[in-house]
Amino acid sequence: MTLSNPWFIAAVVGVLGVFHLEIIATFLNLAQFRHALPQRLKDIFTDETVQKAGEYAGASARLDLLRSAVSTAVLIAFWWMGGFAWLERWSNTWGWGEVPRGVAVIGLLMLVQNVMSLPFDVYDTFKIEAEYGFNRTTPGTFIADRLKGLALTALLGAPLLALLLWFFQTQRLAALYAWATVAAFSILMAWLAPRLLMPLFLKFKPLENGPLREALLSLATRLKFPVVDVSVVDGSRRSSKANAFLSGFGKNKRIALYDTLIEKHSTEELEAILAHEIGHHKCHHVPKQLGLGLLESGLLFFLLHAALQSDGFFAAFGVAGRPLGLGLVLFSILYQPLSLLLGLAGSASSRKHEFEADAFAKQACGSAPLMTGLKKLSLDHLTHPNPHPLTVWLHYSHPPIGQRLAALEG
């Protein structure tokens, strides 16, 4: 590890740069609560609501900063104390092949990361979310969700990871093969997740026959959007926050509404929310976002292939050889700032798509029901009424509530 190594300089600047950028964005965002709200938002957020939203945002931000500080400190200490070199030497004593050893090393580090994040996740769920009336997760459900997540990661992630490592060990066009494999896996998961994976965590039951079901199916028919099922999701078992989504391809699309959404919104508002989701499909946002993701993954694998061929890349982390599994971990550290930059384009595209879906819903149902629904969601979730532009730029996949309402009024 020397200052003459460009990989080392890029890694240090990237890790510390992203950490400090997040700190700046967090403080600027919290400072926005001291500013007067635009008149449009004053009619929605009372002083009491703004104060409560600020307290909630502050509590969440402090926990996130502490989590980030601990993670960054542990990473730097492990790195500069020769931890990666020690891990390489230790894994070499196992006598395993390159691929199984790489899978094991990555799995071990992911497990350590999960254990480190566990106290923060517990505090977030059972302290902050509970204090502000959002959490409904029991300790049993929390533990079950974690175990299921780890099991799915092992069952689905380990074979995929092994295949990717094998590509980079044996194939000259490894980056191309890895990109094609991940693209196919992503498309397959988009189809399988609502059918096989999500039911492991959430219970889906058909929406009972009645005015709401008839209204939603009638809207889908009017908008020429084929729907085979309308389901109610038991989101209230985990949180009071509401959500809705569409899944499926072709003529097998399914509507899923959280029970908390149905409890708090009128039929007209639910129709407008559904029209918004249909708008994403009608405007072809799903394939556009998928295409953008595939472009980013293509760049990722190209850069990964270049890094794995460089002795200087491994030397930047104190590693003497070229261990594939550890190389993927080290590359994820180096790739973090670039991922953040590429994420800006994805987030900007997503915010644009939200405006377009709102416009579609306005044309289908009028602006009033969607505006009322958005106001309710913002208040129920204690959304930041006026976030700082830097935070929006870095992290918001949806436009702030004020911008969405202004667009719907326009």
Catalytic residue among 22, 354, 356, 358: 358
d(CA 154, CA 133): 34
Catalytic residue among 277, 296, 354, 409: 277
Report H helices in 153-238: 158-170, 174-192, 211-222
Q: At residue 255, what are phi and psi to the nearest 5 degrees?
A: -100, 130
Q: What is the dihedral of CA 171, 176, 179, 180, to 10 degrees?
A: -100
For residue 233, what are the β-bridge partners?
Answer: 204, 258
Task: Give the angle 234-237-239 at the CA atoms, nearest 5°.
Answer: 100
Q: Clarify whether 98 is annotated catalytic.
A: no
Q: What is the dihedral of CA 388, 383, 246, 362, to 10 degrees?
A: -80
**DSSP assigned state of 45:** S
**DSSP assigned state of 135:** B
Q: At residue 229, what are phi and psi to the nearest 5 degrees?
A: -160, 145
d(CA 183, CA 179): 6
Q: Clarify whether 131 is annotated catalytic.
A: no
Distance of CA 334 to the CA centre of its chain: 20
User: Which tokens hold the place of 171?
Assistant: 């194939």
Question: Of all helices (H) and strands (E), which one includes residue 246?
Answer: strand 244-247
- 3 state DSSP class of 97: coil
d(CA 142, CA 56): 21
Catalytic residues, by residue number, are: 277, 358
